Amino acid sequence: MTLYAQTTGSQSTGSGTFVAIPGLAFTLPEGVGTSALLILNLPNPYATGNDIPGAMLGISVDGVVSPVIASFTYSEDAPSTSGRMPTTLVVSIPLSTHKQHVMAMWAGVRGSTVIIDTPATLSAILD
């Protein structure tokens, strides 16, 4: 079984702590002794700011962000242009005796604003 969610339109966050990426969430079915491979793909994100801008990406399961995260930052304090920073995060989540709600999360680093203006996806592949 495969689960899939995709964003539409432009979205951004200036939050310095993890917040949900709107549209990237679904519920995993119950299952014991198996797991789900979750894939968060942001093919064209970018960040703006003047203190080495960047982003952190994560996945929460029932409100708890996995310790496995992805991130990107630029190499300059204040880049003259915001180049695209394709980023993918892959996390294996053990299934449980109850359904689990998963959400893609993001945050800006050092006061950055993170922007997506092309579709981003959250997928789950179940054993």
Query: Please, are residues 78 and 62 in contact by the beta-carbon 8 Å criterion?
Result: no
Annotate 5-43 with b (16+ C-beta within 10 A) or e (fewer).
bebeeebbbeeeebeebebbbbebeebeeebbebebbbe
Q: What is the pLDDT along the chain (127 residues), one digit of tens a residue?
A: 899 999 999 999 999 999 999 999 999 999 988 999 999 999 999 999 999 999 999 999 999 999 999 999 998 888 887 789 999 999 999 999 999 999 999 999 999 999 999 999 999 999 7
CATH number of the domain bearing residue 58: 2.60.120.760
Structure tokens at 44: 């064209």
Residues of the chain by 3-state class (helix, strand, coil), percent to 5:
0, 55, 45
Q: What is the pLDDT of residue 39?
A: 98
How many structural domains compose the chain? 1
Query: Please, are residues 28 and 100 in contact by the beta-carbon 8 Å criterion?
Result: yes
Residue 99 structural domain:
2-126
